[in-house]
């Protein structure tokens, strides 16, 4: 089957061509580097070329393209995810395939997430970045932050486990999208997708066409957002650097390095999985997923990158549409290895800063909570740190500690999102071999 066969697929291709043709990734990396340099020059904590007040005001303006960029992405995420999941299931599957794949993919996702968290725990316990933080510095940042009250609010209610399970079904879809409860949204979309598979083509067609249009329009808006991506990245990074300054960057530098090193190891694990479990050539895998990784890196959103991941899986990795269109949307929502790894490192980092000793049992609890949390984390920018608050409460770490790491979260978010999408593409390659889809 030729992959680019419908207007929807053509529109996806045009959007990807735009990214490759414009060498967008180079521009984004340049934007990032210039952002740090400009931020250091303007930051009152570093070179202080301008008075503090003026620098902060200027920072707000420099950040504007970034805020607009993130706004555009967030605007289309719910329709994009819903339409893509419904189409993914309804267009290429059968109820039997969905069941067969689902039974294999969910344990696989849980296993890779546990591996990611273990790598994170291992690295943070070896490098001990929390020990490098001056307790005085930690106290000042946390005190300033509580005064400004910028600590992210908790998003999870204190529900019992049965209540949480019951809560997975959205009784009110409008409310689920209002609250951006991605797990509820995905479950609703999967159910509608399966329902579409079972009704007659005549009754299903109008709704399917509506989803096709919803997906194409959302993609168009994302491709517009990508035009300003390099400026957005410049603005976001520059304004962060203006605010936190060089001293703070260095203080949390060890923590950032720990997260980055652990993410790189996870990338290595994926490559091993691709080579030895999926039996694919590493060279073509890496070449095939490069553009999607850049998109994930620049948008910090696996949901925004999802349709491109599906396209790359089918066109570049030759994965069957029945697999890619089911595994990738599901993985985007429930398989967040980069996020889980980051949350584990951040939690232990804060334990080290606050001098909290975690027993082995507490680490195990952390592992389980993080697997659960990464399933519920929406695939949108910056939410990993909000969910982290829940994990911290679970293991008794003061949530205010987030103030220490929130400054550098944007950069880490870009990197963990890249790993999240790589994990989904790896999963699709594995299922191509082991998914049992005829
Ligand atoms: N931005 C991440 C994603 O979309 C989620 C997170 O860790 O904040 O995959």
pLDDT tens digit sequence for 322-338:
899 889 988 987 899 99
Is residue 420 within 8 Å of residue 341, measured between CB atoms? no
Ligand 1 pocket test: pick from 295, 416, 418, 423 the residue with the most ligand atoms within 8 Å of its Cβ.
416
**Which protein residue has the closest C-alpha to ligand 1 atom 7?**
384
pLDDT tens digit sequence for 23-46:
777 788 888 889 889 988 888 877
Q: How far apart are CA 151 and CA 159, in angstroms?
A: 22
Is residue 37 within 8 Å of residue 235, measured between CB atoms? no
Instruction: Verify whether ligand 1 is closer than 6 Å to residue 374 (CB atom).
Output: no
Instruction: Verify whether ligand 1 is closer than 6 Å to residue 381 (CB atom).
Output: yes
Is residue 373 within 8 Å of residue 401, measured between CB atoms? no
pLDDT recorded at residue 3:
42
Rounded to two decimals, the pTM is 0.78
Under CATH, which architecture does the 7-434 domain have? Orthogonal Bundle (1.10)
Q: Name the more confident of 395 and 411.
A: 411
26 HSE (CA, 13 A, CB side): 4
Own/partner pairs for 8-12, CB < 8 Å, 24+ apart? 8/212, 8/215, 8/216, 9/311, 11/216, 11/219, 11/220, 12/219, 12/307, 12/308, 12/311
Residue with structure tokens 């999408």? 421
Going by C-beta distance under 8 Å and a sequence separation of 6 or more, which residues neighbour residue 378? 180, 181, 182, 303, 333
pLDDT recorded at residue 16:
57
Tokens of 394: 């679970």
Q: Name the more confident of 420 and 161.
A: 420
pLDDT recorded at residue 157:
47
pLDDT tens digit sequence for 273-285:
999 999 999 999 9
Instruction: Verify whether ligand 1 is closer than 6 Å to residue 417 (CB atom).
Output: yes
Taking the C-alpha atoms of 243, 248, 250 and 256 in order, what is their torsion angle to the nearest 10 degrees? -80
217 HSE (CA, 13 A, CB side): 12
Instruction: Verify whether ligand 1 is closer than 6 Å to residue 383 (CB atom).
Output: yes
Mean pLDDT within 78-104 = 80
pLDDT confidence bin for 153, thresholds 50/70/90: very low
Q: Name the more confident of 410 and 273.
A: 273
Q: How far apart are CA 280 and CA 162, in angstroms?
A: 41
Q: How far apart are CA 89 and CA 122, in angstroms?
A: 38
pLDDT confidence bin for 354, thresholds 50/70/90: confident
pLDDT recorded at residue 435:
67
C-alpha 227, offset from chain centre: 21
End-to-end CA distance of the chain: 15
How do the domains of the chain map onto residue ranges?
A: 7-434
Of 186, 182, 185, the residue nearest 155 (C-alpha): 182
| Ligand 1 atom, smallest distance to 377 CA | 5
């Amino acid at each position: 089957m030729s992959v680019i066969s419908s207007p929807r697929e053509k529109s996806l291709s045009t959007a990807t061509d735009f990214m490759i043709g414009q060498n967008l990734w180079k521009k984004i990396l340049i934007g990032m580097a210039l952002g740090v340099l400009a931020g250091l020059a303007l930051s009152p904590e570093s070179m202080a070329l301008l008075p503090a007040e003026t620098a902060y005001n200027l920072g707000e303006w420099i950040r504007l393209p970034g805020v607009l960029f993130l706004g555009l992405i967030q605007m289309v995420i719910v329709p994009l995810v819903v339409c893509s999941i419904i189409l993914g299931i309804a267009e290429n599957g059968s109820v039997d395939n969905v069941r067969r794949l689902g039974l294999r993919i969910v344990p696989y996702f849980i296993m890779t997430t546990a591996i990611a968290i273990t790598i994170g725990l291992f690295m943070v316990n070896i490098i001990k970045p929390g020990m490098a933080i001056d307790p005085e510095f930690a106290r000042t940042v946390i005190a300033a932050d509580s005064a400004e009250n910028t600590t992210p609010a908790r998003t999870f209610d204190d529900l019992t486990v049965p209540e949480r399970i019951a809560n997975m079904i959205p009784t009110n879809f409008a409310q689920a999208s209002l609250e951006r409860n991605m797990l509820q949204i995905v479950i609703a979309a999967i159910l509608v997708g399966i329902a579409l598979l079972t009704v007659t083509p005549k009754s299903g067609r109008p709704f399917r066409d509506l989803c096709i249009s919803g997906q194409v329009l959302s993609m168009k808006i994302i491709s517009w957002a990508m035009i300003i991506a390099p400026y957005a990245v410049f603005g976001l990074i520059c304004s962060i650097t203006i605010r936190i300054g060089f001293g703070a960057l260095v203080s949390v530098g060890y923590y950032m390095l720990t997260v980055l090193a652990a993410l790189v190891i996870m990338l290595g694990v994926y490559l091993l999985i691709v080579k030895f479990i999926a039996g694919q050539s590493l060279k073509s895998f890496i070449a095939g997923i490069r553009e999607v990784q850049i998109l994930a890196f620049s948008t910090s959103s696996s949901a925004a990158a999802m349709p491109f991941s599906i396209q790359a899986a089918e066109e570049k990795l030759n994965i069957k549409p029945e697999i890619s269109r089911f595994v990738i949307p599901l993985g985007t929502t429930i398989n967040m290895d980069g996020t889980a790894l980051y949350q584990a490192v951040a939690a232990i980092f804060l334990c080290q800063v606050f001098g909290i000793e975690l027993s082995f049992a507490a680490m195990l609890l952390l592992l389980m909570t993080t697997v659960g949390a990464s399933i519920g984390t929406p695939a949108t920018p910056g939410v990993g740190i909000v969910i982290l608050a829940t994990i911290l409460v679970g293991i008794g770490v003061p949530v205010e500690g987030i103030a220490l790491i929130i400054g550098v979260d944007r950069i880490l978010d870009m990197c963990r999102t890249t790993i999240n999408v790589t994990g989904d593409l790896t999963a699709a390659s594995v299922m191509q071999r082991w998914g049992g889809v005829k």
